[in-house]
């Protein structure tokens, strides 16, 4: 059977944008990641061996000339030096450790951050696809996937909102995500604006969408301390991208802490913020109030909502925000894993960083929703104390 992942660009766009930043600013930094089975899924016998085989196969992938030309043409802020690097990049499977004891799966990653940063998304998508395959679980037909997606995007068109597909990490399978993007492109003109998956963006001639993820801010806490993490992460993003890719992720250490440090310079410079945890309406109120206090018209800014969205949530948010602030929606699992089976609830997060001085430092994420916290209890408690989080 052919390998599941056949393109090095079958990954989320923000992994490549962060990778360019890491290469430029932190080439000696190292990182560790760990798989977190939030849904307590029971993995079938032989799962680790099947995953190992797929991970080893990734070493054969390389950026093609056509893929490099697509990236260069579509994303001019990715400089030629980085694209030359990516052309020579190869996955190194020894960076990934996989173990299985009974129904429990352990996956960890360790290595130079600029290299290991690309592992998270393909590992999660492989775990999902192999889980359904080895469990023998049958999904709805290809025609039904297309029809379900067509109805969804037509509903979003009626709402008058813009939608990007963000579902690579927890997709049912590559084939389902391909069918979804195909249907979104066919029926979503006026609503569908692109996909986070660079390979599928190229395949369907749409925009790759994304900026950065929590690990960008988590690393900066290891390098500069919790109090300076948000400000230094934003400062370095501006240093690399000079105003491009201007949606800032706000909830690595709670939105309240982020907005305290999102001063007038950052508030004017960034196009908006991304919501990824906690109540979306409360978040909208806080962001609108923040911009008004800064003397900035909220309608000149955008909130990208991306937390577990479905049509009902999008409709409620759109009705609440319309006429008050710009908005867009990044929709993941409800698009790429709505196939008649329960979607998986898994993550793979950075757990430690070595900024380059030889010392490994634990990292944490303190979302606005406590169930999304990651990190040890000791480090979470320390971060909350330093940042005065109740």
Residue 245's pLDDT is: 97
pLDDT in tens, 148-171: 999 999 999 999 999 999 999 999
Which two tokens mark 297?
Answer: 């018209």
State percent of the chain over pLDDT 90.
98
DSSP 144-211: HHHHHHHHHHHHHHHHT--EEE--STT-S-HHHHHHHHHHHHHH-TTTEEEESBHHHHHHTT--B---
What Cα–Cα distance (Å) separates residue 280 from each residue in 32, 71, 320, 368?
A: 31, 33, 10, 10
pLDDT of residue 274 exceeding 80: yes
Residue 145's pLDDT is: 98
Nearest partner of 387 among 370, 366, 360, 373, judged by Cα: 366
CATH of 142-336, one of 1.20.1250.20, 3.40.50.11610, 3.20.140.10, 3.50.50.60: 3.20.140.10
Neighbours of 231 (CB within 10 A): 17
Assigned CATH for 13-138+342-387? 3.20.140.10
Residue 384's pLDDT is: 97
What residue segments make up the domains of the chain, in order of their start? 13-138+342-387, 142-336
Nearest partner of 76 among 244, 202, 238, judged by Cα: 244
pLDDT band at 390 (very low <50, low <70, confident <90, very high): confident
Mean pLDDT of 94-106: 98
Chain centre to alpha carbon of residue 190: 24
Domains 13-138+342-387 and 142-336 share a fold: yes
CB 123 within 8 A of CB 10: no
Cα separation of the two ends of the chain: 52
Residue 238's pLDDT is: 98
Residue 358's pLDDT is: 82
């Amino acid at each position: 059977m052919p390998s599941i992942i056949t393109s090095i660009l079958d990954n989320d766009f923000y992994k490549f944008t962060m990778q360019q930043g890491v290469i430029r600013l932190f080439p000696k930094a190292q990182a560790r990641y760990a798989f977190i089975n939030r849904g307590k899924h029971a993995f079938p016998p032989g799962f680790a061996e099947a995953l190992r085989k797929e991970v080893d196969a990734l070493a054969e992938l390389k950026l093609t000339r056509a893929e490099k030309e697509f990236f260069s043409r579509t994303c001019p802020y990715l400089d030629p030096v980085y694209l030359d690097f990516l052309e020579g990049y190869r996955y190194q499977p020894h960076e990934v450790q996989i173990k299985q004891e009974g129904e429990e799966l352990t996956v960890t990653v360790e290595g130079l951050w600029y290299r290991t940063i690309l592992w998270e998304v393909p590992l999660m998508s492989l775990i999902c696809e192999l889980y359904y395959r080895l469990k023998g679980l049958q999904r709805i037909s290809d025609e039904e996937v297309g029809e379900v997606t067509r109805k969804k995007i037509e509903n979003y068109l009626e709402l008058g909102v813009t939608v990007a597909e963000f579902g690579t990490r927890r997709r049912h399978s590559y084939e389902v995500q391909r069918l979804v993007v195909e249907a979104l492109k066919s029926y979503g003109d006026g609503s569908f604006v692109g996909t986070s998956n660079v390979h599928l963006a190229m395949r369907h001639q749409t925009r790759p969408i994304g900026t950065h993820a929590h690990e960008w801010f988590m690393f900066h806490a290891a390098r500069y301390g919790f109090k300076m993490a948000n400000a230094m992460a934003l400062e370095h993003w501006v240093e690399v991208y000079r105003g491009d890719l201007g949606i800032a992720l706000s909830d690595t250490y709670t939105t309240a802490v982020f907005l305290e440090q999102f001063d007038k310079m950052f508030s004017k410079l960034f196009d908006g913020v991304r919501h990824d945890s906690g109540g979306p309406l409360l978040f909208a109120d806080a962001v609108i109030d923040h911009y008004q206090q800064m003397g900035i018209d909220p309608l000149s800014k955008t909130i990208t909502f991306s937390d577990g969205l479905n049509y009902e949530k999008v409709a409620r948010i759109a009705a609440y925000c319309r006429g008050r602030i710009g908005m867009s929606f990044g929709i993941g699992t409800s698009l790429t894993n709505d196939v008649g089976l329960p979607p998986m609830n898994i993550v793979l997060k950075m757990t430690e960083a070595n900024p380059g001085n030889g010392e490994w430092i634990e990292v944490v994420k303190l979302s606005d929703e406590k169930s999304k916290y990651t990190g040890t209890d000791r480090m979470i408690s320390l971060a909350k104390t330093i940042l005065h989080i109740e």
